[in-house]
Structure 1
Amino acid sequence: MNAKNVTEHIINWLKDYAENAGVKGFVIGVSGGIDSALTSTLCAETGLKTLCVEMPIHQAESQVNRASEHINQLKSRYPNVSSVQVDLSSTFENFKTVTPPVAPSASLDLSLANTRARLRMTTLYYLAGLHGLLVAGTGNKIEDFGVGFYTKYGDGGVDLSPIADLLKSEVYKLAAFVDVPKSIQGAAPTDGLFGDSRTDEDQIGASYDELEWAMEMKDSGKEIKDFSGRELEVFKIYTRLNRNNQHKMNPIPVCKIPKNLK
């Protein structure tokens, strides 16, 4: 991949989209992870208004520190970048007090994790509406179109997706090219939605390098019978998640009413 050419292409695409939409720039949720760091840098490179938003919800200190380091670096490099922190911890806790009580379970943990992402999406659209901005998504190709590793109407609720055609390995290459802080480049990917130290690999059961391999194998027509050992395990993980999360990747199904019934 030619990092320079790809970077310039995305920046021009972002500028054209914003100008055609008649908006002033972009708002991005910055988590301290590689995807949001790359996306916010690419948006900053357009010269258009770029609002970086930190939205901690009982966030690990390391994640907060990386996000702050990245935002401070961006603001020192680009005069069009501004930032705001919206601590949603109390909002999240209040949400739990006004919903019906349920017994602790894995489904409760997952529902609350998705609730964190949806509170953040609501915050980004609030700020976007106030300032005439577009919400820039931070999902990469593996997450968005491979295994569906994101929250529907959470971090999946965006106006445009500048890095969604980049594999995770390509995200790292572009991040290094645009000088994303080394602390972020070296951090283990995590969605930070559970309030603990679990990584994306812990949740998925496979690394992004393994998932990229599985995506390539599936796209080339390979089947489960073609693999054994760890390769079989990874291919099964990828195939299962890709199948189960199609509802995130496809348009909302619409019940079409036959004309003779109207």
Structure 2
Amino acid sequence: MSFRVPTVAALGAVLAALGACATPPAAQSGFLSNYSALTPEPATLASIRQNRDEATLANVDRLALEPAVFVGGAEEGLSAEEAGWVLAEVDRQVCYELSERFTVLEPSQPGAQATVRMAVTGLSLTNPAGSGLSAVANWFIPGPIGVRAPGSTGGLAAEGELVLVPDGRQAAAITWARNAKVVGFDTPSLSRLGDALQLAEPLGDAVGDAFAPEGREVREIADPDPCARFGPRTRPAGFLARMATGLYDPGMSAAPRETSPDE
């Protein structure tokens, strides 16, 4: 038996089909200070609505990043440890992207011109058994696109805003939701958090794009790295594990949120 490598045209057709199956928007959670100016972005794999004040954003460089939170019962059914993993990965990915466009400060540091607030508003779990079967099936599919067992995929929804200091006026905001696809690039996982944790990365990309002023170039990461408290930017072990097994392993790719003795 032989397999044919998909042509560029075939891959394009698949990606077009995926784009046509965008995740439906999540309900407003009430977390944002203002929803009135949000407008839908062009169809992508995610559902995105955003608002941005370009003139104001152009004058913002120093941001304080508050820890992400759950709202609306999005953490229901998760253990405290699992909830910490999700919030930590959202913190990580959002910080990484913002630090390429802004000077990122901890909430306690003085001098911030604005504060970024993030909330996880929805989460659906990955089915580990279905993901395991998907990983086996993908060994027989050439090319980068894989398949997932129907009903086995998870998802993530979030909201965030950039508000000015000290008046709290909203200068940018985003609502974002995405489900892992049955056909696409989302890696199966034996963890029920697998898809939610992986989707934190495109969430971070979207937040960075939504909050950065038009035309601001990506900058070198500051030294010391302002996002070091969230874990390393790259996890080579996680990439190698995916290559070897076809599975996403949170323990090798993500980082748990550190908790204080009071938490």
TM-score (norm 2): 0.27
Q: Which has the higher strand share?
A: 2
Q: Which has the higher helix share?
A: 1
State the structure with bigger RCO (CA 8 A, min sep 6), 1 or 2.
Answer: 2
